[in-house]
Amino acid sequence: MINILVFGDSNSWGYTDEDQGNRYNNRWPIIMSKKLNNLGIKSYIHEDCLPGRTTNISDPIDGDHFNGASVFKASLLAHSPIDLVLVMLGTNDLKKRFNREPVDVALGLKELIKISKSTNSGKGSWHDENKSKLIVIIPPTLSIKCRDKNWINYDDWIDAYEKSNKLQSAFKKICLSENIEIIDSNNYVETSELDPIHWSKESHHKFGKGISKAILEIIKF
């Protein structure tokens, strides 16, 4: 049995492009777990996913609890022992009110990486110096609908489309420097044309199946 922690935002929580904030039961972490089990890897998934979560910046409107870095260490310890941590964050950092460039978001990711590297959340007890394996998932590029002035959330995401296209390379650079494995979700899914931030139900299924195979290529259980 392997314990996996998914630490993410609404696209891992199960917010889809059509359900008006209802949580999708067959979201990608659930699909991933089922697929791993089918492949002979028994897994238990801990989901710590919050819509609106950022990498490491507090939200001046919604509150400090949306700051991923502020709760990441507690999450690692609360769910330990953890064999594998999957982090997919960065999309919400692109909101207009944060005024962040891709390099700033990548530095937020770097803070999460450092927290993971310094936390004894792996096999054994808190007193053992065992760390969990961390894989960073690069979030998908936002769809061009972000630039549609008729989109209801346009004002919150001005310039986010252009910045999201640069996030992939910024994340790869940080992960390479920190020797962290990555899985690029852009190889599996796209954000929806209905909602440029979130995924369709079909994308949740597609990514859940795809990431299970990608994990097995990175880690030999």
pLDDT at 164: 96
The residue range of the domain holding 179 is: 2-218
pLDDT at 220: 74
Query: What is the count of structural domains for the chain?
Result: 1
pLDDT digits (tens, 9 = 90+) for 5-27: 999 999 999 999 986 788 999 99
Cα torsion 50, 4, 39, 136 to 10°: value is: 70
Residue identified by tokens 């927290």 is 115
- Tokens linked to 109: 């990711």
Query: Is residue 204 predicted with pLDDT exceeding 70?
Result: yes
Half-sphere exposure (Cβ direction) of 53: Cα atoms closer than 13 Å: 25
Mean pLDDT of the chain: 95
pLDDT digits (tens, 9 = 90+) for 140-185: 999 999 999 999 999 999 999 999 999 999 999 999 999 999 999 9
Gap between the Cα atoms of 160 and 147, Å rounded: 8
Q: Assign 3-class secondary structure to 138-162.
A: ECCCCCHHHHCCCCCCHHHHCCHHH
pLDDT at 19: 67
Gap between the Cα atoms of 67 and 57, Å rounded: 5
pLDDT digits (tens, 9 = 90+) for 124-150: 877 788 999 999 999 999 999 999 999
pLDDT digits (tens, 9 = 90+) for 83-128: 999 999 999 999 999 999 999 999 999 999 999 999 999 988 777 8
Q: Assign 3-class secondary structure to 29-50.
A: HHHHHHHHHHCCCCEEEEEEEC
CATH number at residue 130: 3.40.50.1110
Please report how the helices 160-177 and 102-117 are oriented relative to each other, as an axis angle in degrees rounded to 10: 40
Q: How many CB atoms lie within 10 A of CB 129?
A: 8
Regarding pTM above 0.95, the answer is: yes
